[in-house]
């Protein structure tokens, strides 16, 4: 089984790229972020024609998340992150697929910091940590998949001072990610590649793709029960090289 995450950065604008990638790699489960499409504008017919069922939560202009399942229909278990009924941003969806609970998240960016956006980022992550602990306590196989908008460690970003004040690398952000690991979640990409430099995002500006000036923002955290089945993990960098590509590349894991 292959589980993948892909911040598509506008699903309708980059639908051809998404469909070509699905056809070439055929993951069983896919989590998408930054749909940037209102609920009725989700391209369900095209996704179904590619062989996938889908659940999604859209939002016009910004945000939006979806879970796709090859040859089946995901069974939604949540369409929002609990803990703040006034939060209307479409950043979280959760479903049961093939015996696995899959959480798809698009965590807040938090810039500029300090300020209200960074405060929201940290508060959102606190809610996420609380919910993740509850999922872990169920004993079920669970995957927390998506764009966390956190660079976990200094080795997960190219050598640069330009990000020193960025919310993605702040000690508070990294501490939030570390608390998830301390709960017992396994960072699948790092587990399979403990010493390698791995990036999943390259900003459009300043030729960062051409210079391989990247960041690791997209993560698949697995419950220990699921992590025991882990056989591989990687980044489909070639998708980032396509014309008019998203600034993220798809990230995936394989499970026996």
- The three-state (H, E, C) secondary structure of 65-130, written as one string: EEEEEECCCCEEEECCCCCCCCCCCCCEEEEEECCEEEEEEECCCCCCCCCHHHHHHHHHHHHHHH
pLDDT at 255: 98
Q: What is the C-alpha to C-alpha distance for residues 155 and 190, in angstroms, rounded to an integer?
A: 11
For residue 209, give every residue at least 6 positions away whose Cβ sits within 8 Å of its Cβ, in sequence order, or none.
202, 240, 241
Largest Cα–Cα distance of the chain, in whole Å? 46
pLDDT at 26: 98
For residue 159, give every residue at least 6 positions away whose Cβ sits within 8 Å of its Cβ, in sequence order, or none.
none
* Domains, the chain, ordered by start: 2-255 (3.60.10.10)
pLDDT at 129: 98
- pTM value? 0.98
Residue owning tokens 């979640």:
185
pLDDT at 249: 98
pLDDT at 32: 99
The residues of the chain scoring below 70 in pLDDT are: none
């Amino acid at each position: 089984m292959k589980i993948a995450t892909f911040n598509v950065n506008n699903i309708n604008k980059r639908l051809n790229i998404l469909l070509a990638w699905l056809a070439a790699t055929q993951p069983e489960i896919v989590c998408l972020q930054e749909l940037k499409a209102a609920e009725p504008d989700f391209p369900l017919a095209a996704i179904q024609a590619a062989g996938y069922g889908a659940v999604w939560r859209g939002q016009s202009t910004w945000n939006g998340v979806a879970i796709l399942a090859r040859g089946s229909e995901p069974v939604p278990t949540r369409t929002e992150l609990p803990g703040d009924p006034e939060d209307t941003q479409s950043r979280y969806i959760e479903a049961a697929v093939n015996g696995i609970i899959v959480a798809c998240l698009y965590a807040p960016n938090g810039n500029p910091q300090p300020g209200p956006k960074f405060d929201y980022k940290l508060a959102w992550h606190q809610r996420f940590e609380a919910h993740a602990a509850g999922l872990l306590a169920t004993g079920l196989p669970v995957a927390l998949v998506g764009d966390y908008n956190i660079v976990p460690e200094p080795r997960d970003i190219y050598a640069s001072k330009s990000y020193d004040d960025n919310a993605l690398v702040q000690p508070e952000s990294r501490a939030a990610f570390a608390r998830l690991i301390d709960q017992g979640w396994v960072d699948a990409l790092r587990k399979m590649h403990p010493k390698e430099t791995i990036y999943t995002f390259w900003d459009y500006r300043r030729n960062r793709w051409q210079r391989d000036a990247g960041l690791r923002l997209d993560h698949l955290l697995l419950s220990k029960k699921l992590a025991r089945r882990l056989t591989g993990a990687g980044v489909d960098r070639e998708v980032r090289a396509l014309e008019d590509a998203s600034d993220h590349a798809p990230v995936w894991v394989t499970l026996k």
